[in-house]
Structure 1
Amino acid sequence: MTDPFALFDSWFTEARASEPNDANAMALATTTADGHPSLRMVLLKGHGPDGFIFYTNLDSRKGGELAANPHVALLFHWKSLRRQIRIEGSVTPVDDATADAYFATRSRDSQLGAWASDQSRPLDARETFEARFAEVETRFAGQDVPRPPRWSGWRVTPAAIEFWQDRAHRLHERTRFTRDGDSWTSGLLYP
């Protein structure tokens, strides 16, 4: 196969059918401004030849790290399929229309939570967050919840995509695709 996005689509379709929860969960690796690695799970919310999209609070720790250094890595691990996909690339913000369209699909409570949360900031007590949520719920009662200005998405444009398939006796199969201008080159890697 010469198209890493077609292979991703095929594996992702299988993962959605076999994984018990969140087949779209992916580890996102960033670095702090001084080069220390940082890793967390996020959810893939869009993908295609132009990249892989996720959303977050722009003022969160990850938002700050992405703004300071756009180079990231993603990892999908589908234990039920004994597969993983590694993606290396850089991020750019999605446009407002894309962020607005996705935000409108979220549950109302998730939308309200985006307004109530100062993601990654210290919280003195759970009750403080719950009180902020109640205030936001009252503020937007009877109306659509708009996307907060500090909440948006990022698109990871891949420079490399590696597909890993578990095999017996740790004789795994690895295929790495590397962007070459507007096309891709691929090759096998030793396990």
Structure 2
Amino acid sequence: MSQAKATLSGMRVSYDAEPFQESLLADTWHEQLRRWFDEAVQAEVAEPNAMVLATADATGMPSSRTVLCKGFDERGLVFFTNYTSAKSHDLGSTRVAAATFPWLALQRQVNVRGTVEKVKQEETAEYWAHRPRGSQLGAWASPQSSVVSGRSALESKLAGIERRFADSERVPVPPHWGGWRIRPEYVEFWQGRPDRLHDRLRFCREDGAWKVRRLAP
């Protein structure tokens, strides 16, 4: 135990990125996110669209998990999931969420906080049409976040779904599945810097307008 503690306490990475000044920011948070996202893709960061989604239930108990961002624009960030899942219950109850893109290889992260809304069915259908068939069938088969008796129960459910849609060229969108959009109130761009004096620039909505604020590291 003591050796493990010593190892953890000694783990340290020196951040050496260039300064991230206000003059380098794009005019809007989504344009800046696009810049950094494109750079993460170019740097071949593993799953650059992966983001840690944080929610809380009606009692305030928090939880987090990694989901895949499937789109973003001036309206917000979109991901898709089962509407009966634990995270969807949280989102439906509190109507707020936070998300973080952890681009550790670039010594960067982007943190988002805001309200949430379900995306329109047309938007869900458009994305669904591009999902692999296996993922579509899995969405029908899995009672996400529910307790199951074992792996075999899931595989049996999937086999039944495969038979159900065996003669269907297209698998329809399940009624319990769709997208959520996080509509940001705060979007922080974090750049690691030497001596832990990191650069933190935040777009925040104030009185209906976006302002940029620098935060202490």
Q: When the two structures are superposed, what TM-score results if normalisation uses the length of structure 2?
A: 0.85
Query: 1:20 Cα deviation (Å)?
Result: 3.9
Query: 1:155 Cα deviation (Å)?
Result: 0.5
Q: Quick one: which amino acid aligns to residue 182 of structure 2?
A: V
CA distance in 2, matches of 1:138, 1:51: 38
SS in 2 for 1:134: helix
Matched, 1:13 2:46: no
Instruction: Describe the shift of the 1:156–1:5 C-alpha distance in structure 2 as closer, same or farther (beyond 3 A).
Output: same
> Is this contact kept in 1: 2:45–2:103, CA < 8 A?
no
CA distance in 2, matches of 1:22, 1:65: 25
CA distance in 1, matches of 2:74, 2:188: 15
Matched, 1:134 2:147: no
Q: Quick one: which amino acid aligns to residue 205 of structure 2?
A: R
Q: Quick one: which amino acid aligns to residue 94 of structure 1?
A: V
Q: Give the % identical residues.
A: 42
Deviations 1:136-155 (A, max 9, x none): 01111131100000001001
Deviations 1:121-178 (A, max 9, x none): 0111101101111110111113110000000100100001000000111111010111
1:153 paired residue number: 179
Instruction: Describe the shift of the 1:124–1:95 C-alpha distance in structure 2 as closer, same or farther (beyond 3 A).
Output: same
1:69 paired residue number: 94
SS in 1 for 2:39: helix
SS in 1 for 2:65: strand
> Is this contact kept in 2: 1:19–1:80, CA < 8 A?
no
Measured on the aligned residues, the alpha-carbon RMSD in Å equals: 1.1
CA distance in 2, matches of 1:78, 1:19: 11
**What residue ranges of structure 1 are gaps of 5+ in the alignment?**
none
SS in 1 for 2:145: coil
CA distance in 2, matches of 1:142, 1:18: 42
Deviations 1:50-109 (A, max 9, x none): 110001100011111111011111111101110001101010000100011111111000
> Is this contact kept in 1: 2:119–2:179, CA < 8 A?
yes
User: Of the candidates 55, 64, 68, which is equivalent to residue 43 of structure 1?
Assistant: 68
SS in 1 for 2:105: coil
Q: Quick one: which amino acid aligns to residue 130 of structure 1?
A: E
Matched, 1:163 2:189: yes
Query: 1:182 Cα deviation (Å)?
Result: 4.9
Structure 1 segments of 4+ aligned residues over 6 angstroms from their partners: none
> Is this contact kept in 2: 1:19–1:78, CA < 8 A?
no
Q: Quick one: which amino acid aligns to residue 87 of structure 1?
A: V
2:134 paired residue number: 109
Deviations 1:17-39 (A, max 9, x none): 22442110001111011111111
Query: 1:41 Cα deviation (Å)?
Result: 0.6
Q: Quick one: which amino acid aligns to residue 132 of structure 1?
A: K
Q: What is the count of residue pairs matched by the alignment?
A: 191
Q: Quick one: which amino acid aligns to residue 166 of structure 1?
A: G
CA distance in 1, matches of 2:203, 2:160: 49
CA distance in 2, matches of 1:16, 1:44: 14
Matched, 1:125 2:126: no
2:16 paired residue number: none
CA distance in 1, matches of 2:209, 2:73: 14
> Is this contact kept in 2: 1:55–1:153, CA < 8 A?
yes
Q: When the two structures are superposed, what TM-score results if normalisation uses the length of structure 1?
A: 0.97
